[in-house]
Amino acid sequence: MLVLGIETSCDETAAAVVEDGRRVRSDVVASQILAHAPYGGVVPEVASRQHVATIVPVIRRALTDAAIGFGDLDAVAVTCGPGLVGALLVGVETAKALAFALGKPLVGVNHLAGHLAAASLEDPTLPTPPPFPHLALLVSGGHTAIIRVDEPGKTRLLGATRDDAAGEAFDKVAKLLGLGYPGGVAIDKLAATGNPRAVALPRALAGRDDLDFSFSGLKTAVATWLAKDRAAGSARLPEGAALADLCASFQTAVVDVLVRKSRRALAREGLGALVVCGGVAANRGLRAALAEAARADGFALFIPPPKRCTDKASMIAAAGSELFVRGKYAGLDLAVDPGLEL
Ligand code: KG4
Ligand code: ZN
């Protein structure tokens, strides 16, 4: 079974071929980071235009890399939400045209379900797929949520962020520190050499019994710390060891809360396996802290390799394969839904 996945929900134009729901035959991404960088964030209209320009070559490349022709495909899966409406439309309309021309089934995939499926893709670090039921910690630029996954497509939201997503917090703090966009990777790198206890930062909702998150206060605390630093006579943004210390302190504040709530949810739900997905799952501090918690508490940890944590079409093809085998096809009237929920 060969499924083509297409992903254009935000600022990556991506196409992939996945075999039998698990084996990645190709995974092509045309990143738009350079096009959006001058604006310090994703500009929706720019994203749509870039998708239009690159979607066809990206799909052709995915087929070439997989060494197959269009006729070998069994289905076409595409992200239909959540995301930017104009960006989603490019992928969905392209997928419809392709499915219609090839006479193959079309499958509409929820981007978040795609992230959840990333840990099911074959990889040397993930010899077996995660068992069901399991808990999922989804930490991306747009979402932060703790989800109970009973089976593919059967999920229950246990907690979510009340304001900024974890990735959004990384990006906003990186912007405050002059580290450019997107800033998660830059903070991750700097944090590796810093002292996580150098700057005292808040852990919002940490002591509470619920499984929700809040990161906007943390971003404000970093801004306040920078303002005080300036008031104390510092003319410039922190550099060198001071910058590394601030990054390490911020990252640890985010990681602490994510780990604490995951452990609480696993215990409360009586689950023995945790899947972590979304762009922030690539963070080395989070991966190390969760590995330690898994050893201490005895749960099984499934985190895709860093390259499969951020938006890729392989995750859409994987989630699409699950729907395809269940016969859950979409019609040619498949609509995009920018606010689609799991
Ligand atoms: O899942 P994703 O690629 O896109 C969304 O669906 O949002 O996640 C992108 C987010 C960005 O906020 C980016 O800064 C963050 O993931 N990110 C990281 C790292 N790599 C990507 N955050 C922290 N550490 C990283 N290594
Ligand atoms: Zn994503």
Report the atom number in ligand 1 closest to the C-alpha of 285.
24
Mean per-residue pLDDT, 235-261: 94
Counting from 1 in the atom list of ligand 1, the atom nearest the Cα of 284 is 26
**Closest by alpha carbon to 68, among 23, 26, 121, 13?**
26
Ligand closest in space to the Cα of 282: 1
Q: Report CA(114)–ligand 2 centroid distance (Å).
A: 8
Q: Could you say which ligand is closest to the alpha carbon of residue 12?
A: 1
Residue 229 has pLDDT above 90, yes or no: no
Residue 169 has pLDDT above 90, yes or no: yes
276 contacts 139 by C-beta, under 8 angstroms: yes
Structural domains of the chain ordered from first start? 2-119+309-325 (3.30.420.40), 132-303 (3.30.420.40)
Protein residues whose CB sits closer than 6 Å to any atom of ligand 1: 10, 140-142, 167, 170-171, 182-185, 188, 278-280, 282-283, 310-311
CB atoms within 10 A of CB 69: 9
Beta strand 154-160 with 300-302 is: unpaired
Q: For ligand 1, what atom is nearest to the CA of residue 111? A: 6
Q: Which ligand is nearest to the CA of 283?
A: 1
- Looking at residue 153, what is its pLDDT? 87
For ligand 1, atom 24, the nearest C-alpha belongs to 283
Using the predicted structure, report yes or no on whether residue 207 has a pLDDT greater than 80. Answer: no
Pocket probe mutation, ligand 1, options 251, 280, 284, 314, max atoms within 8 Å of Cβ: 280
Strands 12-19 and 2-7: antiparallel
Q: What is the pLDDT of residues 175-185, one digit of tens each?
A: 999 998 889 99
| pLDDT at residue 58, as a whole number | 98
User: What's the CA gap between 79 and 117, in Å, rounded?
Assistant: 13
The predicted pLDDT at position 40 comes to 79
Q: What whole-number percentage of the chain has pLDDT above 70?
A: 100
- Express each pLDDT in 294-324 by its tens digit: 999 999 999 999 999 999 999 999 999 999 9
pLDDT of residue 95: 98
Span 70-116, pLDDT tens digits: 999 999 999 999 999 999 999 999 999 999 999 999 999 999 999 99
Atom of ligand 1 nearest to the CA of 311: 3
Distance 50 CA to ligand 2 centre (A): 18
Q: How confident is residue 235, by pLDDT bands cut at 50, 70 and 90?
A: confident
4-60 pLDDT, tens digit each: 999 999 999 999 999 999 999 999 999 998 899 888 788 999 999 999 999 999 999
273 phi/psi in degrees, rounded to 5: -140, 135
Q: What is the pLDDT of residue 253?
A: 97
Q: How many of the other CB atoms lie within 10 Å of CB of 93?
A: 16
Residues 6+ apart with CB under 8 A from 128: none
Nearest-atom index, ligand 1, CA of 168: 12
pTM of the prediction?
0.93
Ligand (nearest to CA of 11): 1
The Cα-based distances of 331 to 5, 29, 106 in angstroms read: 16, 26, 7
Q: Interior CA angle at 313 toward 309 and 315, to 5°? A: 55
Tokens 């083509």 locate to 4
